[in-house]
């Protein structure tokens, strides 16, 4: 997948694509429906399949939320889009100047002249431009004379089960990671660099690879069964158990994901680690001492192994479908 970060200077080879437009936070089943329709049209036209997204997420610029809210940071989002077979990812820098752009200007200058879209596909409630005043009807009205076809699709899912990022966030905040595949079509995941912890896990027989979570959206605190994949090992997902929380037994205050990978001995410090959450084992709690904690960890490991034994590992083909380059075009 080719990444184009400057729509003002789109290379000729990236022009003329069928483009799915949106934030695509979570790359959930609703987003995938938009992309699948884009793929169908692209094949019919013999055109590349592209996505136009916005970074940072508009909510970060316009609403300045106090708490993390993104389901998929850019790196993760790009990975999932590449796995879906997207040829080109257009990344428009979103700032207040971009937000103030008139809707007609967005269509004419960004979509038509900038990235040279041949056809765009959006959700039925797609809104854009200053004050989110742009509608699908306006997109069609302005885009048509400029040679840009427009298709909108209805929401995926039914009734209260519409697939949406907000629904996925509620599930995540409740710790209901087992239900997230109903919305995402896959396990919810994070990745990051393994950082040094207290190294206490190694001394009690359960060494962990630690990821900081304080500044990212994450599930409710507790113990989880999950799959782990060290960077560079895209063919394998390893079963694991992890505690996500502040480690109250040791009076810690920072959220940390402590991942114990079963039957794995390599040192992961400083490497990137990707983890996919399969199910919640229990909530976080304080223990009276090390012996009680060790006994509970052993029990958690047994539970997590049993959970993962009946669940499939994440798609290894999706794991390998990484963007070809992250540099600007």
Does residue 303 have a pLDDT over 50?
yes
* High-pLDDT (> 70) share of the chain, %: 90
Q: In what order do the strands lie in the sheet with 188-193?
A: 188-193, 272-283, 222-230, 238-245, 256-261, 209-212
Does residue 163 have a pLDDT over 90?
no
Nearest to 240 by CA among 230, 229, 226: 226
- Spatial separation of the C-alpha atoms in residues 139 and 142, rounded to whole Å: 5
Mean pLDDT across 189-215: 79
Nearest to 39 by CA among 198, 174, 151, 165: 151
Question: Are the C-beta atoms of 114 and 13 separated by less than 8 Å?
Answer: no
The sign of the dihedral angle between the CA atoms of 267, 270, 275, 281 is positive
Is residue 327 very low, low, confident or very high in pLDDT (cuts 50, 70, 90)? very low
Mean pLDDT across 190-202: 76
- Spatial separation of the C-alpha atoms in residues 166 and 133, rounded to whole Å: 21
- Spatial separation of the C-alpha atoms in residues 287 and 243, rounded to whole Å: 14
Does residue 325 have a pLDDT over 50?
no
Q: pLDDT averaged over the chain?
A: 89
pLDDT score, position 315 = 78
- Spatial separation of the C-alpha atoms in residues 276 and 314, rounded to whole Å: 8
Question: Are the C-beta atoms of 219 and 204 separated by less than 8 Å?
Answer: no
pLDDT, one tens digit per residue, over 12-49 is 999 999 999 999 999 999 999 999 999 999 999 999 99
pLDDT score, position 182 = 92
The structure tokens 């257009």 sit at: 90
Nearest to 200 by CA among 316, 308, 293: 293
Secondary structure in 3-state letters for the chain: CEEECCHHHCCHHHCCCEEEECCCCCCCHHHHHHHHHHHHHHHHHCCCEEEEEEECCHHHHHCCCCCCCCCCCHHHHHHHHHHCCCCEEEEEECCHHHHCCCHHHHHHHHHHHHCCCCEEEEECCCCECHHHCECHHHHHHHHHHHCCEEEEECCCCCHHHCCCHHHHHHHHHCCCHHHCHHHHCCCEEEEEECECCCCHHHHCCCCCEEEECCCCCCCCCEEEEEEEEECCCCCCCEEEEEEEECCHHHCCCCCEEEEEECCCCCCCCCCEEEEEEEEEEEECCCCCCHHHHHHHHHHHHHHHHHHHHCCCCCCHHHHHCCCCCCCCC
pLDDT, one tens digit per residue, over 164-188 is 899 999 999 999 999 999 999 999 9
- Residue 43 neighbours by CB under 8 Å, 6+ apart: none
- Spatial separation of the C-alpha atoms in residues 248 and 237, rounded to whole Å: 30
């Amino acid at each position: 997948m080719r990444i184009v970060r400057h729509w003002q200077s789109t290379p000729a080879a990236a022009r003329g694509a069928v483009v799915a437009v949106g934030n695509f936070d979570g790359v959930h089943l609703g987003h995938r429906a938009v992309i699948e329709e884009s793929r169908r049209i692209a094949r019919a036209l013999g055109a590349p399949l592209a996505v136009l997204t916005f970074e940072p997420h508009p909510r970060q610029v316009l609403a300045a939320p106090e708490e993390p809210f993104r389901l998929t940071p850019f790196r993760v989002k790009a990975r999932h889009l590449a796995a879906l077979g997207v040829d080109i990812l257009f990344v428009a820098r979103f700032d207040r100047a971009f937000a103030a752009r008139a809707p007609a200007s967005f269509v004419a200058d960004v979509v038509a002249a900038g990235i040279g879209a041949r056809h765009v596909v959006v959700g039925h409630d797609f809104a854009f431009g200053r004050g989110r005043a742009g509608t699908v009807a306006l997109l069609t009205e302005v885009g048509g004379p400029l040679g840009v076809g427009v298709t909108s699709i209805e929401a995926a899912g039914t009734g209260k089960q519409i697939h949406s990022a907000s629904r996925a966030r509620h599930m995540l905040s409740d710790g209901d990671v087992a239900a997230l595949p109903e919305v995402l079509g896959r396990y919810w995941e994070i990745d990051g660099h393994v950082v040094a912890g207290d190294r206490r896990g190694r001394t009690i027989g359960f060494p962990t690879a630690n990821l900081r979570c304080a500044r990212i959206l994450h599930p409710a605190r507790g113990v989880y069964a999950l799959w782990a994949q060290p960077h560079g090992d895209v063919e394998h997902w390893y079963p694991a158990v992890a505690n996500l929380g502040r480690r109250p037994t040791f009076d810690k205050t920072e959220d940390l994901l402590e991942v114990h990978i079963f039957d794995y001995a390599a040192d992961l410090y400083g490497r990137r680690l990707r983890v996919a959450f399969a199910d919640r084992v229990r909530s976080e709690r304080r223990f009276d001492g090390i012996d009680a904690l060790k006994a509970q960890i052993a029990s958690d490991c047994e539970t997590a192994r049993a959970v993962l034994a009946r669940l499939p590992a994440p798609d290894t083909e999706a794991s390998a479908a990484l963007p070809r380059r992250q540099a600007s075009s």
